Amino acid sequence: MTSEYDFLKKFLKSRSGLVLSDEKQYLVESRLMPVARRHNLNGLSELILAISKPGSMSLQNDVVEAMTTNESFFFRDKSPFENFRNVMLPHLLEARKSRRSARIWCAAASTGQEPYSLSMYLKEDKAKVGSFRFEILGTDISTEVLEKARTGIYSQFEVQRGLPIQMLLKYFSQQGELWQMAPEIRAMVQWRKLNLLENFSHLGEFDIIFCRNVLIYFDQQTKIDVLNRIYRQLPDDGFLVLGAAETVVGLTDGFEPYPNLRGVYRKKQAASRPAGSTSFTRSTATSPSTPGTTRPTIQALAGGSRFSA
């Protein structure tokens, strides 16, 4: 099993960035045996042999999907959503008031609870939001979870983890044992398959990027690379939200913790930059409307393949 496990480790690292530590070996069997059965393969050895062959793309995708963790729930960890509602949202409503639009990206959105939680808060605050337009994009490496996210159908267990009962009544309709997100909430989010290891500059600029509980699966170099590329998608006053156990400390000098908001980061501000730094010349106030900044709409992205990497 050792050389097979090593092969699998290398395969997952190169395909999804996932670092499979040796203590995670127990996961391999429970996650991959169902995949092997679905493809009529007799056990893990046959499965691993099969993905090493050319032309096994669909099997390879299934293996990556099965091994990437998809746990998610509504309003997970609470504080990121409170911060969104109390700080980020008021900031954007004010700072983008002439443009009247802002863009939010939930990277590694899994089964959709995170973008839908944001959408529900936007609906709750509709008196403040008014005609200001928010585009929310949810991406994930897994087609299967995105399909579920798109339908917005959740089990009784899923709707009870983190979702207040009043919101369940308000924003879901019951279908037997299942609950479906209301059409007006679903319509607020666009979905797109995306591997964070690949180029994502074509997605354009986002005012807020949620990238929670995905960097923890990457090795140091991959974390740095992803953070550096996220940096380029944010305006100077943009927000980066990481998971509760994640940090930029020791990974990049570009970001600093947002004062008093746990898990929220911003681009390093002028005063705290080293003297002589030339890479941060745009002022916070003007950057969002800087001429030439590319901001393709999500509709445009969803509409065609011309933006594909």
Partner 1 sequence: MKKCLVVDDSSVIRKVARRILEDIGFEITEAEDGQKALDACKASMPDAVLLDWNMPVMDGLEFLAKLREEDGGEEPVVVFCTTENDVAHITKAIRAGANEYIMKPFDREILSAKFQEVGLV
Catalytic residues: 31, 140
Which lies closer to partner 1 via its Cβ, residue 166 or residue 279? Answer: 166
Is 77 buried (19+), middle (13-18) or exposed (0-12) by CB count in 10 A?
A: middle
CB of 284 to partner 1, least distance (A): 35
CB of 171 to partner 1, least distance (A): 12
* Residue type for position 106: C
Is 50 buried (19+), middle (13-18) or exposed (0-12) by CB count in 10 A?
A: middle
Q: Which of 254, 198, 191 is nearest to 226 (CA)?
A: 198
User: Is residue 174 close enough to count as binding partner 1 by CB under 8 A?
Assistant: yes
- 138 pairs with which residues across the strands? 106, 191
CB of 160 to partner 1, least distance (A): 5
Rg, Å, the chain Cα set: 20
The 3-state DSSP class for residue 87 equals: helix
Residues 56 to 75: which contact partner 1 by CB under 8 A?
73
The 3-state DSSP class for residue 19 equals: coil
Which lies closer to partner 1 via its Cβ, residue 69 or residue 160? Answer: 160
Question: How many binding residues for partner 1 (CB under 8 A)?
Answer: 14
Neighbours of 194 (CB within 10 A): 22
Per-residue x/- track, 132-171, partner 1 (CB under 8 A): ------------------------xx--xxx-xxx-xx--
User: How many DSSP H helices and E strands does the chain contain?
Assistant: 13, 10
Q: Round to the nearest angstrom and report the end-to-end CA distance of the chain.
A: 36
CB of 25 to partner 1, least distance (A): 26
Which lies closer to partner 1 via its Cβ, residue 164 or residue 303? Answer: 164
Which lies closer to partner 1 via its Cβ, residue 162 or residue 296? Answer: 162
CB distance 146 to 191 below 8 Å: yes
Cα(226)–Cα(223) distance, integer angstroms: 5
Tell me which of 177, 278, 305, 306 binds partner 1, using CB under 8 A.
Answer: 177
CB of 24 to partner 1, least distance (A): 22
CB of 125 to partner 1, least distance (A): 19
Cα(107)–Cα(234) distance, integer angstroms: 13
Tell me which of 78, 128, 202, 262 binds partner 1, using CB under 8 A.
Answer: 78
Cα(191)–Cα(189) distance, integer angstroms: 7
* Residue type for position 225: D
Cα(107)–Cα(137) distance, integer angstroms: 8
Phi-psi domain of 265 (left: phi exceeds 0; alpha: psi -120 through 50; beta: other)? beta
CB of 154 to partner 1, least distance (A): 12
Which lies closer to partner 1 via its Cβ, residue 113 or residue 139? Answer: 113
Which lies closer to partner 1 via its Cβ, residue 169 or residue 245? Answer: 169
Which lies closer to partner 1 via its Cβ, residue 169 or residue 309? Answer: 169
Using CB under 8 A, list all residues that contact partner 1: 73, 78, 156-157, 160-162, 164-166, 168-169, 174, 177
